[in-house]
Amino acid sequence: MNYALTHERFETPAGGLSVFASEDGVVRAAGFGSASEVAARLPSGLRDGGWSHGALPHVGTAVQAWLDGDGSGLAYVPVHHEGGAFFQDVWEAVRGIVAGEPVSYQEVAVAAGRPRAMRAVGTACGRNAIALFVPCHRVIAARGRLGHYGPEGPGIKAALLAFEAGWGDAEVLRAGRQAHPDDAAPTTDGWYRGARAAGGHR
Rounded Cα gap, residues 136 and 124, in angstroms: 9
Helices 85-95 and 118-126, axial angle in degrees (round to 10)? 80
- Residue 155: CB atoms within 10 A of its CB come to 20
- 136 a catalytic residue: yes
Catalytic annotation, pick one of 74, 136, 159, 197: 136
At residue 19, the 3 state secondary structure works out as: strand
Give me the phi and psi of 167, to 5 degrees please.
-70, 155
Q: Judge whether 28 and 20 are in contact, CB under 8 Å.
A: yes
Answer yes or no: are the C-beta atoms of 176 and 14 closer than 8 Å: yes
Distances (CA, A) of 50 to 21, 25, 196: 12, 16, 44
CB atoms within 10 A of CB 13: 15
**Separation of alpha carbons 192 and 79, rounded Å:** 31
Nearest to 188 by CA among 99, 121, 110: 99
Active site residues: 136
